[in-house]
Chains A and B, each alone.
Chain A
Amino acid sequence: MRSTHGRLFDKRQKGELDEEVLAISGQLLQKNPDVYTFWNIRRQALILISQKIATENGDDEAKRDERLAALYKEEMILTEACIQENPKSYGAWLQRGWVLERTPKPEYQFELKLCNLALRLDERNFHCWDHRRIVCRFANIPLEDELKFSDEKVNDNFSNYSAWHYRSSLLARTHPDPDGRLPMDEATLAKELGLATNAFYTDPEDQSAWFYTSWLFDDQHAFAEGPVPVWVTVDRKKSTILLVMSGAVEAKTVGDMIATDADGEWIPADSQAQSSQVWLFKSSSLGPATKVTLSYKALDVQVEDEWTDLDTIRALLAPANPEGSLKTALEKMLASCQELATVEPHNKWPTFIATLCMRRLEAQANHDQILSNLEKKLPKLDPKRAGMYADLANNIKVNRFLVDALAENSRVPDTLRMIRKALITRPPPPRLTWSTPLLISLKDAGSIPAEGGPSPNQGAHPSVGRGIGSSYAANIPATGRPILYQSHQPWPSVASRQRARGAEPATLRDKR
């Protein structure tokens, strides 16, 4: 072995990348397909040899292609042997894909058969799934055919997680949702929910179909058209403007959105961040008469003290309940889960998915039942993830407080005055959601109690060794009150922002 090895490198050193190199490296790779250096040498040799073939056959394209096909066929035989030796060899699968791109006579159907065989031996072999994707791309195989393939695989074995995954990546492309809000169009979604239901009835303990189900009705995009401004407050005494967006934006967008004559700079809530949902404009010249204009799409408004889009805020907190075929599908799903929960009382999945269904269908009306599931039932059924369920419950409770605080008949102007006062003084913490500023200000005003300490789960964990950014602990109290995220530091100064910018090499921003 060592002398073969030596001979190979010797020839390489001399630049003799020929058939002997192919023979030697082939021998070595069959024993160990993972030595990527040998695959590299083979590729170099194959390129040179194929160039030679092309030159030698000049105008005779047919002869040239025949010889090239034969050369690459040998390569396919080798990689097949290597894949049998190690079905997870990166090098062998890569080489097969490389050959497919080059050979004048690719045999795509053969490739698919090989994939089928490999998947029968190990249905989770992701090298094989990826190779299949490559073959389909080169061969322009219609996605619908692959969808049928995933159908077969899923029906063969409902716990074939890889097959469900494949389905998920195909359906978004074969049956996209015209509004971009659902993972696929509504009719297809309803059918998929049916397929998943069938699967989890057959094998309720297997997580594949349950994971798939939870994806199907997750609301993917709250606003398909991108982040929108939800409120702007202007403090003419402190000479600041605060902007809160529904999603994160970069400084340039903010600059385009808010026009003012005052000098100053926009700072994101986290001075290290490129983009943020909350921005503060610090100025020295923002006075009572300074114009501040908010322009966004059709919106064009002068802001005196504050501007809010309460409808958007309410929609973000409490999205509209689904209608039509999606609603029907969710109701069916909920009924199936509830039925299955009685038949399988120890299985967490029906209860968890039923809870997600209830939240999606009518989050506010089902509030109590949802919390009861998350706080009482699920921790018993799935104690390892008690913390996860408690965290989800906490988020839901916090949401509910905001919904109530901003209800139609609440005293909205008071709320906004609180916001302005609290937020100009200090920013929300970095790991914020768009509603965190509102939460902090409501807490400051005493509208939401914030209590409780570390949960029993957490203990007194030191923060050392946690890597970049300290652990963002969600205190899960024993009581029913939600906990708000504390912020103790003042807004970053312009200087600290400049320092943060200066810490990054100038070329970072230039990379486009």
Chain B
Amino acid sequence: MFKSSAEGRCGFRGSFAAAPADQDCSGPYDGGHLAQTYSALCCLLVLGDDLSRVDKPGIVAGLRACQLPDGSFCAHSGGSENDMRFVFCAAAISYIIDDFSGINIDSVTDFIRRSVNYDGGIGQGPGLESHGGSTFCAVSTLSLLNRLWDKSVLSTAQIERLRRWCLRKQGVGFHGRANKPDDSCYTFWVGASLSLLGADAFIDHDKLREFVLSTQDATIGGFSKYADSHPDALHTYFSLAGLSLLHEPGLAPVFAALNTTARTAARVGQIRLGHQPP
């Protein structure tokens, strides 16, 4: 259990590299990090934990401390870059702990609205280029906040343009930005976006699968960014998650908005209802 006595700095650290485990927060630059908090909560859910030992009010205060006037989030209260990645982390964290009071919803949805670009895609922030990763982060955030389909942030026309932007990212596999090479991890980032937008039926499933499988290492397994490159955990996970969205047999179904399996996401519901996880 992590001690979290400092207001606005609560959450999970990535490691003990910056401070030993037996210490309380040692100062303004030792505290929770949104991406680590999201990861830690997901890990706990995967492992069947009921989150009862998690300091939820502390996490909520930590989120609040990380939201900036423009609606976006930085990663920790000590200050960092701010962009759509941490917006997603904040939304996912809130969804998992079932408490959205750490987020100013109007201001975060305004940030997303202002990050929609001329080509229909969504960037890391206003003025930044449309990108598969930030598009997923924005779409999943809206989905988790229940603001994706009510036209309060994205109009029907914008959703149409967004779908087309995503679909245009298919070369053989998906790439994350126009004129960039296909990369297996975008199988998830773009694939999941299309799934949430209800347009995954329009992907060329065969070509996408062909590309992803081509990135598998024939000797040691695992998936790489491109074919004939080095496999790593990140690309392996996102390739598998992407393939699951394409209903690849033998893979657990994925809950796109949280970037976990459906089983893990269901645990969130079980915890809310007070049920024991199986």
The residues of A with any CB-CB pair to B shorter than 8 Å are: 9, 12-13, 36-37, 40-41, 43-44, 90-91, 93-94, 124, 126, 129-130, 133, 159, 161-162, 165, 168-169, 183, 206-208, 211-212, 215, 218, 247-248, 250, 268, 270, 272-277, 383-388, 391, 430-431, 433, 455, 457-458, 461-462, 464-469, 471-474, 504-505, 507-508, 511-512
The residues of B with any CB-CB pair to A shorter than 8 Å are: 17-19, 26-29, 75, 78-81, 99-101, 103-107, 117-119, 123-125, 127-131, 143-144, 146-152, 155-156, 161, 163-164, 167-168, 170, 177-180, 192, 195-196, 198-204, 207, 244-245, 247, 252-258, 262
Among the listed A268, A384, A457, A505, which residue makes an inter-chain contact with B100, where contact means beta carbons less than 8 Å apart? A505
- Which B residues touch A169, using CB under 8 A? 117-118, 127
Q: Cα distance A384–B172 when bound, in Å? A: 9
A286 CB, min distance to chain B CBs, angstroms: 26
Cross-chain contact A9 with B179 (CB below 8 angstroms): no
User: Dominant SS at the B interface?
Assistant: loop
CB closest chain-A residue, reference B207: A384
Q: Cα distance A137–B127 when bound, in Å? A: 12
Among the listed A272, A273, A275, A468, which residue makes an inter-chain contact with B196, where contact means beta carbons less than 8 Å apart? A468
Q: Which of A391, A430, A466 has the most CB of B within 10 A?
A: A466
Cross-chain contact A165 with B196 (CB below 8 angstroms): no
List 10 contacting pairs A-B, 8 Å CB cutoff, sorted by A: A90-B80, A130-B128, A206-B179, A272-B150, A273-B149, A388-B202, A461-B247, A465-B254, A467-B143, A471-B198
- Which A residues touch B168, using CB under 8 A? 207, 211, 385
Cross-chain contact B177 with A124 (CB below 8 angstroms): yes
Cross-chain contact A511 with B106 (CB below 8 angstroms): yes
Q: Which of A276, A473, A507 has the most CB of B within 10 A?
A: A507
- Which B residues touch A248, using CB under 8 A? 150-152, 155
CB closest chain-A residue, reference B20: A9
Q: Cα distance A433–B154 when bound, in Å? A: 12
- Which B residues touch A211, using CB under 8 A? 119, 168, 178
- Which A residues touch B100, using CB under 8 A? 504-505, 508
- Which B residues touch A465, using CB under 8 A? 244-245, 247, 252-255, 262
Cross-chain contact A36 with B75 (CB below 8 angstroms): yes
Among the listed A12, A44, A207, A473, which residue makes an inter-chain contact with B201, where contact means beta carbons less than 8 Å apart? A473
Cross-chain contact A508 with B195 (CB below 8 angstroms): no
Among the listed A168, A388, A508, which residue makes an inter-chain contact with B164, where contact means beta carbons less than 8 Å apart? A388
Cross-chain contact B202 with A512 (CB below 8 angstroms): no
- Which B residues touch A457, using CB under 8 A? 201-202
Cross-chain contact B75 with A44 (CB below 8 angstroms): no
Cross-chain contact B80 with A36 (CB below 8 angstroms): yes
- Which A residues touch B104, using CB under 8 A? 511-512
- Which B residues touch A165, using CB under 8 A? 117-119, 129-130
- Which B residues touch A215, using CB under 8 A? 118-119
Cross-chain contact B195 with A44 (CB below 8 angstroms): no
CB closest chain-B residue, reference A509: B105
- Which A residues touch B252, using CB under 8 A? 465
Given the contacts A274-B150, A508-B100, A431 and B119 also touching, CB distance less than 8 Å: no
Among the listed A13, A274, A431, A458, which residue makes an inter-chain contact with B152, where contact means beta carbons less than 8 Å apart? A274
Q: Cα distance A168–B121 when bound, in Å? A: 13
Among the listed B75, B117, B201, B257, which residue makes an inter-chain contact with A467, where contact means beta carbons less than 8 Å apart? B257
